[in-house]
């Protein structure tokens, strides 16, 4: 019997596969960002626009069923 290994070696692949549609959505909305595993970086010139983009990303993540770790 073969054991299905979903250990740490497949985690990066699964993460990027799951987040690809969200990243595509954000970039299509003009939000410039890069995700690398569980980190992300965005690039915007204006602080007000940065806050707005951050709110959109956070809202979309909650809508996708994810929660931020506030600790």
Task: Please write the tens of the pLDDT for every residue from 25-66.
Answer: 999 999 998 888 778 888 888 899 989 998 999 999 999 998
Which tops the pLDDT comparison, 27 or 12? 27
What is the chain written as a DSSP string?
A: -PPP--SGGGHHHHHHHHHHHHHHHHHHTT--EEEETTEEEE--SSHHHHHHHHHHHHHHHHHTT------
Report the domain count for the chain.
1
Look at residue 32 and tell me if it is in a domain: yes
Confidence of residue 8 (pLDDT cuts 50, 70, 90): low
For residue 21, the model assigns a pLDDT of 93
Smallest Cα–Cα separation from 31: which of 17, 3, 50, 13?
50
- Domain with 17 in it: 8-63
- What span, in angstroms and rounded, lies between the C-alpha atoms of 38 and 42? 14
Does any domain span residue 1? no
- Does residue 54 lie within any of the structural domains? yes
Model-wide pTM > 0.75: no
């Amino acid at each position: 019997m073969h054991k299905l290994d979903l250990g740490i070696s497949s985690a990066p692949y699964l993460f990027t596969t799951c987040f690809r549609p969200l990243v595509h959505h954000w970039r299509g909305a003009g939000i410039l960002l890069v995700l690398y595993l569980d980190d992300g970086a965005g690039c915007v010139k204006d602080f007000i626009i940065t806050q707005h983009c951050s709110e959109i990303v956070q809202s979309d993540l909650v809508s996708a069923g994810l929660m931020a770790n506030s600790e």
